Structure 1
Amino acid sequence: MPYLLTILLSVTLLSGCQSAYYSAMEKVGVHKRDIMVDRVEDTNKAQQDAQEQFTSALDALKALNQFDGGDLETAYNDINDQYEASSDAAEKVSERIAATEDVADALFDEWENELSLYTSTTLKRDSEKKLRATQTSYKKMLTAMHKAESKMTPVLNTLRDNTLYLKHNLNAAAIGSLQGEFTSLQKDIQRAINDMQIAIDESERFISHLKKA
């Protein structure tokens, strides 16, 4: 129970810190909409970086799959470096998505609550229409982001397994025994890269929508 209370307290404090941050930014003329655009752009950049890193890991796997002699230690180190870099890139994507969700929740709550302040029925109806359209666009983008994010974890797990296996079996036979897994992993990485591109495209569409809403 104490552990659960600690987690709940941490979440509450974090939420409070974010609320204070948004309020402080509002006072200097930076609104939640502006922050959301910045965070979606940051997420977009993190996804592009992850896409490049996973492509690099894919190239390294292809090279290892075609290994026909050379320094096995160097081959292992290259794959291990690719795993570490890919893991860091995936973690950054998750952090950026979480930050985007936080400001989105704050923005939509504020927008929803302010609908009751209108005295003009026409303006209220127009604002509500824009809110719903923005929420729909956001959900589509977020779904694409989470789909791409979910593809990273199994890829990283398999890449880590292969890296660990190579670490303790640095011989040509070990590489040969992993070639089937390499082929499957390459396909998984390519699918993850493709899903990242879909998420990147959706985030760019959402940014465009938000700036016009």
Structure 2
Amino acid sequence: MALSRHTRWKAGAPVAVLLAALTLSGRQSAYYDVMEQAGVHKRDILSDRVIAARDAQQKADEQFSSALERYQSVVTVPESRLLHAYSDLESDYERSQAAAERVSQRIDAIESVAQALFNEWEGELDQYQNQAYRRQSERELEQTRQRYGEMLDAMHRAEDTMPPVLTAMHDNVLFLKHNLNARAIGALKGEVSQLETQIATLRREMQASIERSNRFIDGMAPAN
């Protein structure tokens, strides 16, 4: 059963939780079996999920960039417009949070099918009678695992940059909600520089992850 690092079980996890995970794992296995019968293999599903994750990362990158622009503009609004500014920042925070959640969900989906694919691939190596074919398949498996690991590490690095930004955004939105006055603007001015640095890091890691995703997708494409 593939578990993301954000949902790995700790010792003593409740039995009900473990049973739920086993049920989910069984459903995933049944889903892969049905797709296999329809001619859609785990390799194809993995490629599709990497593409979906890449697209979710791109949208998250754009959303956080847009949110930063909003924060930068808020520090110049007149006090009479602060209520409207608060509403805009709250909406940006909620959209950014949703974008981050979609990225995490896409990564979890990748890990699930990748583990199933690699387990199947490794198990089928012993079915070869032709040892040259077996060695070639084994090399391809290891190369794919390596590229996958590099991509997944990049995805997780990008994923890890989002919670600190969301925390800062939430704190600022909350402070503005309770202080719709000039003092709030002054406080936000002091926070914008830090937010700019955090989001610059986020976008750098996100673009690196997107590049790794594209490389992996290209490597999974069948040779012409």
Normalised TM-score (structure 2): 0.91
Task: Choose which of 101, 115, 120 in structure 1 pairs with 2:130.
Answer: 120
**1:91 correspondence with 2:101:** yes
Query: CA offsets, 1:125-166, max 9 Å, x none?
Result: 100111100000000000000000000001001100110010
Aligned pairs for 1:50-199 (under 5 A) are: 50-199=60-209
Give the Cα–Cα distance (whole angstroms) in 2 for the partners of residues 156 and 78 of structure 1: 15
Give the Cα–Cα distance (whole angstroms) in 2 for the partners of residues 6 and 199 of structure 1: 35
Give the Cα–Cα distance (whole angstroms) in 1 for the partners of residues 76 and 61 of structure 2: 23
Partner AA of 1:144 in structure 2: A
Give the Cα–Cα distance (whole angstroms) in 1 for the partners of residues 14 and 149 of structure 2: 30
Does the Cα contact within 8 Å between 1:61 and 1:186 map onto a contact in 2?
Answer: no
Give the Cα–Cα distance (whole angstroms) in 2 for the partners of residues 163 and 97 of structure 1: 28
Q: Which residue of structure 2 aligns with residue 17 of structure 1?
A: 27
Give the Cα–Cα distance (whole angstroms) in 2 for the partners of residues 3 and 143 of structure 1: 26
Partner AA of 2:130 in structure 1: S
Give the Cα–Cα distance (whole angstroms) in 1 for the partners of residues 205 and 136 of structure 2: 34
Give the Cα–Cα distance (whole angstroms) in 1 for the partners of residues 142 and 13 of structure 2: 39
Query: CA offsets, 1:22-61, max 9 Å, x none?
Result: 0011011110001001100110111111111011101101
**1:35 correspondence with 2:59:** no
Where in structure 2 are there 5+ consecutive unaligned residues?
A: 1-11
**1:201 correspondence with 2:211:** yes
Partner AA of 2:165 in structure 1: V
Residue aligned with 2:221, SS: helix
Give the Cα–Cα distance (whole angstroms) in 2 for the partners of residues 137 and 66 of structure 1: 46
Give the Cα–Cα distance (whole angstroms) in 2 for the partners of residues 115 and 104 of structure 1: 17
Does the Cα contact within 8 Å between 1:152 and 1:192 map onto a contact in 2?
Answer: yes
Partner AA of 1:73 in structure 2: L
Where in structure 1 are there 5+ consecutive unaligned residues?
A: none
Shift of 1:191: 1.1
Does the Cα contact within 8 Å between 1:46 and 1:89 map onto a contact in 2?
Answer: yes
Matched residues, number: 213
Once the two structures are aligned, what percentage of the paired residues are identical?
Answer: 48
Shift of 1:69: 4.9
Shift of 1:65: 2.9
Q: Which residue of structure 1 aligns with residue 57 of structure 2?
A: 47
Give the Cα–Cα distance (whole angstroms) in 2 for the partners of residues 144 and 13 of structure 1: 30
Q: Quote the RMSD (CA, aligned, Å).
A: 1.6
